[in-house]
Amino acid sequence: MSGARGKLLEGPLVDDLAQGTPLEGALVRRHLRVPMEACKTPVTPKALSCCQMKPRAHALRNAGNSGFTLLELLVVAAIIGIVAGIAVMSGRPLVRAQAEEAAFRTVQQSVWQGATMAASRGVRTQLTYSGSTLNVTNQASGAVIRTFELPAAASINVPSGTTLLEFTPPGKVDEASLAALPDPLTITSNGRARDVEVSLIGEVRLR
């Protein structure tokens, strides 16, 4: 009989209850199989509603007891903090390496574009370094053809405003400007220096 507690009343007697007809305890106990102590008084629609609400209230109390405690939340927060710290520390070398590679690629592309523009346009071009900017310009008119931005915290070991290289119409680097480059030509990014060399056809390679 104890297993019947908490079950919703259902069956043909529910129609009588809905109409307000009281049912005696013996009749309810026999047909609905509820405990004896639950059937000492006539069952009315109001009593039926209360019986139906008890299992739901019990379930809500159980759900409230299944939450996280403050200690569990603190442990989870500590674990998340440790994992995040490890990710940040391991990611820094990767970020620095990407910045160094980006600085090298910028110089490489600017030199290549200087030679390409000289060959395609049939004019002398030059590559100037100003702050964090590399400009490919028409040497005769001074018009800017292409502009390249170095990444933040990147620099080249020449004074700002210097003409790095000059290019002749065949698309080659002017030998006099190539010889005037610092030896070695160094690109510095995030405190790390990388030496590069430039060929007559405008190729830039790491030493």
Q: Which CATH number fits domain 96-206: 3.55.40.10, 2.40.50.100, 3.40.50.300, 3.10.450.50?
A: 3.55.40.10
Cβ pair 181, 198 in contact under 8 A: yes
The reported pTM is 0.57
Burial 50-66 (b: 16+ CB within 10 A, else e): ebeeeeeeeeeeeeeee
Model confidence pLDDT, tens digit, residues 50-78: 444 455 545 545 555 567 788 888 999 98
Residue spans of the domains in the chain: they are 9-64, 96-206
Strands (E), the chain: 125-130, 133-138, 144-149, 154-156, 162-168, 172-173, 185-189, 192-198, 204-206
Six-digit token string for 122:
């049939």
Model confidence pLDDT, tens digit, residues 74-109: 999 989 988 887 777 766 777 778 888 999 999 999
Residues of the chain with pLDDT under 50: 1-11, 13-18, 23-41, 48, 50-53, 57, 60
Query: What is the predicted pLDDT for the residue at 19?
Result: 52
Fill in the DSSP letter of residue 143.
Answer: -
Instruction: Indicate the burial class of 198 (C-beta count within 10 angstroms; 0-12, 13-18, 19 or more).
Output: buried
